[in-house]
A and B are shown apart, each in its own frame.
Chain A
Amino acid sequence: MTDAAFDVVVIGAGHNGLACASYLARGGRKVLVLEAADRPGGLAATREFAAGFRVSAAAHLLTMLDAGVARDLGLEGHGLEFAARNLKTVALADNGERVVFEDGAIGGVSAKDQAAFAEFRRQNRRFAKVLAGFCSRPSPRLVDRRKSDTLALARLAWDVRSLGRADMRELLRVGAINIYDVAQEKFESALLKAAVSMDAVLGSHMGPRSPNTVYSYLHRHMNDDAGAAGPAVVKGGMGALGEAFAAAAEAAGAEVRYGSRAVRIDLSEPSSNEACRAAGVTLADGTRIETGLVVSNADLKTTFRMVGPLNLDAGFVRRVHSFRARGVTAKLHLALDGLPEFHGGDAGDAGARLLLASSMDDIESAFDHAKYGRFSPVPVMEISIPTVYDASLAPDGKQVLSALVQYAPYDLKEGWDAGRETFKAICLQRLEAVAPGIGESVRASELLTPPDLEAEFGVRGGHWHHGEIALDQALFTRPVPGANRYATPVRGLYLCGASSHPGGGILGLAGRNAARAVLAGEDSG
């Protein structure tokens, strides 16, 4: 190895980078984490968007955090507190109709739909368990298999087979098709179908009719079987989760350096008989940090841009180039004078996870515009009002509304400078329709478009999963062949972010698995 001060340099103090750093430090490595921002967490961030008003800037509800990772790192001992757990989900239609998901049951639909949903949920929890098992481990190599890969494949086959004949057939039938067809087949209520579809398309350049949206639904519900009956609100905003991850990493012995933007991954000088390997990281201010191992929490495209295309094989560069990572989700933040009242609702709605999409066709038509570089004239939303549970985020009596808004394509034709205010007005109009009077109480507002997310968090395309969760870039091929087991074609360079298996969502598994690959000295060959 080298005589560098650090065995491993991790680029990016996102939750995966920090999880990876923790595991590496516990494995006895001297670890340095470089973070461009002045705080940890990456997309798990809390920011002040108006005087006295703070909000989770990107991810706003915790749905997927892996329990094993949370336990290993002792996140709760490092300051992670929940303001609320097991939130109910309320789907709101324009006509005042509501469907409520609470504790695994639903209200507001026919008895037939209730039974169908119970069966759908039962089945999906079983599917999700298979997926969760597969996602907790590195994906096996299909070509040039080793014994461990064959075992992993056999285990997957066994898990699938153990579903029993009926459920296995159902998994194989729906696993690669779209959520529209499945919801259409199973449910009557348009609102219920829309709510199920929202789970499949949130964060993705997909509509309910897009291929393999059943898979993205399962991905989102991967940890359902582990217990949580609904999402959680982190006390202090999502940034507090980042702080807890950072505290865990530091407690494990890793050093985290903020305000240190990595711009280049340095390689060893090419000698005539050795492959180039990662040799260090150069920062924006020109500082060069030498190390033998680099782990990148940055997204796939950003990581290999730091390596430089000429240092990589052409086929690999092409795969990285083709990785689909165009964000379509914007973030709307409102500073409110008071709690909004949603029509047809009850007082408890404000604290729920609110879904704004009346039907699958509404979602699909909202998506249609994004296909052609336009934002949706009638967007769909996931809304959270964290101040219902955590008053510390706003001045006394005031509220904060946080919404994921789709579809807001990264490459808007007219450009976001021109389109931002129009789209914000459209979003407010949309809210006004379901929460009359909300416009009056808005004291400040902010819309973060995918290009804003890209600029602020360094994620190419502003895609918060770092890349689409779709079957062609999931499981065995996430992010791309040649880098699907954390090791990359550049020796000594590993990936640990959401671009890697098992993908986006605040999970922490990519970070943990990457650390294991590093400790085992795996290479991509």
Chain B
Amino acid sequence: MKPHSEVRLLDTPFGSRVRDACEVHQWEDWKGYLTAAAYEDVELEYFAVRNATGVFDLSPMTKYRITGPDAQAFLNRVMTRNVRRLAPGRVGYTVWCNDAGMVLDDGTLFHLAEGEYRLCAQERCLDWLQWSALGLDVAIADETADVAALAVQGPTSCATLRAMGLDGLERLKPFGIARFPFDGGELLVSRTGFTGDLGYELWMAPDHAEALWDSLFDAGRDRLIRPMGTAALELARIEAGFIQAGVDFVPAEQVLRHGRGRSPFELGLGWLVDFGKGHFTGRNALLKEKENGSRYRFVRLDVDGNKPAEESFILDKSANVVGHVTSAAWCASAKRNLALASLEMPWGRPEDDLFAEIYYSREQRWTRLETRCTVMRGPAWDPPRRRQTPPADF
């Protein structure tokens, strides 16, 4: 029996390599897997994503394989977006809701081949998917442990992967899927990621994981490849303005108090809701919301100064609380102090005067700031290379 002080977490398929690479032993529990919050230095890892290549082990990400004659009808019933429009070989960002139109989770849906899908999600949701499959001919398998996954992100990521032997990868468009032979198996590559930068995600059977890690770091050595932990990823995703389940909203299945969930509209994801495609779970509730108005607006805020507005109240001119910050960071590449915030309606219009109430301490002296915030129209970090095909070669 191990002493109870020892954290007992599963290794991902890259476990041996991750343990070797993690010099600072900042570990986290991600859905039961041992995960590095940082490998060496958060800033260096973050800058690797923006200026070279950062590699993130996302194997603990929940993955479901969805097949069967009714797979598409099933997904169209679950998702707010029109899955019929997602062609084979394409990936789509999506959200799904409960009956009340509250978001259960967001994730990416891979149309791997005609009628065969993979759903990648933050939360485990097999029960919800099974309930949604009542009366349909569809098979849902949890393949979380059967697929090793790496995110390879940053401006030199394409060049690195090509150097690893992925010929023709430069032709892969954003949200596209390609397959390559690797180590006697098949490596699936999607041009997706959570950093808002040029980047790819690699998906492979676990027994090839170590070979994949080794080849990747060999190929990337001259292009300044680095493993990155969750802390650097967090900086990158806030900079790109992406929301995170459990941080920027409470997944509806976990909400205990009536009314604490958020709808897609209240998370700025109304563009993912397609009322014209037929019925889907939450449609009636969302139609009603559209008619009666939302309760909240989700905004990206540009906060003056350089003190992160973590967990800040957002105030109006008269210092009334009108919302709160869900994620915040000083973002070095955008050179902005950014915050994601949930505001009560009607606040969050571009012309609104808003202030973040920020507390910070310097050597035991606490300071309270009411710092001006500006509602941004788009993401602070959205470089052309994110979409450019082929990407620049390095």
Residues of A that sit less than 8 Å from B by CB: 143, 270-276, 308-318, 321, 482, 489, 491, 525
- Known A-B contacts A270-B276, A273-B275; the reply to A314 vs B258 at CB < 8 A is no
CB neighbours of A309 from chain B (8 A): 134-136
**Once the chains bind, are B287 and A271 in contact (CB under 8 Å)?**
no
B281 CB-CB contact with A under 8 Å: yes
CB neighbours of B278 from chain A (8 A): 270, 310
**Once the chains bind, are B290 and A273 in contact (CB under 8 Å)?**
yes
**Once the chains bind, are A275 and B77 in contact (CB under 8 Å)?**
no
B231 CB-CB contact with A under 8 Å: no
**Once the chains bind, are A318 and B279 in contact (CB under 8 Å)?**
no
Q: A318 to B196, alpha carbons, bound, how many Å?
A: 38
Interface centre among A273, A310, A316, by most chain B C-beta atoms within 10 angstroms, is A310
B131 CB-CB contact with A under 8 Å: yes
- Known A-B contacts A315-B98, A318-B134, A482-B99; the reply to A489 vs B284 at CB < 8 A is yes
Return the chain B residue nearest A315 by Cβ: B99
B205 CB-CB contact with A under 8 Å: no
**Once the chains bind, are A525 and B134 in contact (CB under 8 Å)?**
no
Q: A482 to B99, alpha carbons, bound, how many Å?
A: 10
Main secondary structure of the interface of B (DSSP, over half): helix
CB neighbours of B98 from chain A (8 A): 313-315
Return the chain B residue nearest A269 by Cβ: B278
Q: A132 to B282, alpha carbons, bound, how many Å?
A: 36
- Known A-B contacts A270-B278, A276-B279, A321-B134; the reply to A314 vs B99 at CB < 8 A is yes
**Once the chains bind, are B276 and A271 in contact (CB under 8 Å)?**
yes
CB neighbours of A273 from chain B (8 A): 275, 287, 290
Give the number of chain B interface residues (Cβ < 8 Å).
25
CB neighbours of A271 from chain B (8 A): 276
Return the chain A residue nearest B98 by Cβ: A315
B300 CB-CB contact with A under 8 Å: no
Q: A479 to B41, alpha carbons, bound, how many Å?
A: 57
Identify which of B78, B131, B284 contacts A318 (C-beta below 8 A): B131
Scan B295-334; emit 1 where CB is below 8 A from any A CB, else 0: 0000000000000000000000000000000000000000
Q: A313 to B132, alpha carbons, bound, how many Å?
A: 8
Q: A308 to B132, alpha carbons, bound, how many Å?
A: 13
CB neighbours of A317 from chain B (8 A): 131-132, 134-135
CB neighbours of B99 from chain A (8 A): 313-316, 482, 489
Scan B240-282; emit 1 where CB is below 8 A from any A CB, else 0: 0000000000000000001000000000000000011111011
**Once the chains bind, are A314 and B77 in contact (CB under 8 Å)?**
yes
B288 CB-CB contact with A under 8 Å: yes
- Measured CB to CB, the closest approach of chain B to A408, in angstroms, equals 27
B283 CB-CB contact with A under 8 Å: yes
Return the chain B residue nearest A275 by Cβ: B284
- Known A-B contacts A309-B136, A525-B288; the reply to A314 vs B78 at CB < 8 A is yes
CB neighbours of A311 from chain B (8 A): 279
B358 CB-CB contact with A under 8 Å: no
- Measured CB to CB, the closest approach of chain A to B171, in angstroms, equals 36
**Once the chains bind, are B279 and A312 in contact (CB under 8 Å)?**
yes
Q: A174 to B275, alpha carbons, bound, how many Å?
A: 49
Q: A482 to B287, alpha carbons, bound, how many Å?
A: 17
CB neighbours of A313 from chain B (8 A): 98-99, 281-284
CB neighbours of A143 from chain B (8 A): 258
Return the chain B residue nearest A482 by Cβ: B99
Across the A-B interface, the 3 shortest Cβ-Cβ residue pairs: A314-B132, A309-B135, A313-B99
CB neighbours of A272 from chain B (8 A): 275-276
CB neighbours of A275 from chain B (8 A): 283-284, 287-288
Known: A274-B287, A310-B279, A313-B98. 19 other contacts (CB 8 A): A143-B258, A270-B275, A270-B276, A270-B279, A273-B287, A273-B290, A275-B284, A310-B278, A311-B279, A312-B279, A313-B282, A314-B128, A315-B281, A317-B131, A317-B132, A317-B134, A321-B131, A525-B285, A525-B288
- Measured CB to CB, the closest approach of chain A to B328, in angstroms, equals 33
CB neighbours of B288 from chain A (8 A): 275, 525
B73 CB-CB contact with A under 8 Å: yes
- Measured CB to CB, the closest approach of chain A to B25, in angstroms, equals 43
Return the chain A residue nearest B131 by Cβ: A318
Q: A491 to B284, alpha carbons, bound, how many Å?
A: 9
**Once the chains bind, are B284 and A310 in contact (CB under 8 Å)?**
no
- Measured CB to CB, the closest approach of chain A to B103, in angstroms, equals 14
29 CB contacts below 8 A, A to B, read A270-B275, A270-B276, A270-B277, A270-B278, A271-B276, A272-B276, A273-B287, A274-B287, A275-B284, A275-B287, A309-B136, A310-B136, A310-B278, A311-B279, A312-B279, A313-B98, A313-B99, A313-B281, A313-B283, A314-B99, A314-B128, A314-B131, A315-B131, A317-B131, A317-B132, A318-B134, A321-B134, A489-B99, A525-B284
Q: Using a CB-CB cutoff of 8 Å, which residues 123-176 of chain B contact chain A?
A: 128, 131-132, 134-136
CB neighbours of B135 from chain A (8 A): 308-310, 317
Q: A309 to B74, alpha carbons, bound, how many Å?
A: 10
CB neighbours of A276 from chain B (8 A): 279
- Measured CB to CB, the closest approach of chain A to B78, in angstroms, equals 7
Q: A312 to B281, alpha carbons, bound, how many Å?
A: 7
- Measured CB to CB, the closest approach of chain B to A43, in angstroms, equals 26
Return the chain B residue nearest A144 by Cβ: B258
Q: A313 to B98, alpha carbons, bound, how many Å?
A: 8
- Measured CB to CB, the closest approach of chain A to B259, in angstroms, equals 9
Q: A271 to B275, alpha carbons, bound, how many Å?
A: 7
Q: Using a CB-CB cutoff of 8 Å, which residues 84-100 of chain B contact chain A?
A: 98-99
- Measured CB to CB, the closest approach of chain A to B135, in angstroms, equals 4
Return the chain B residue nearest A525 by Cβ: B288
- Measured CB to CB, the closest approach of chain B to A279, in angstroms, equals 14
- Measured CB to CB, the closest approach of chain B to A522, in angstroms, equals 15
Q: A314 to B75, alpha carbons, bound, how many Å?
A: 12
- Measured CB to CB, the closest approach of chain B to A70, in angstroms, equals 37
Q: A489 to B283, alpha carbons, bound, how many Å?
A: 11
Q: A491 to B131, alpha carbons, bound, how many Å?
A: 23
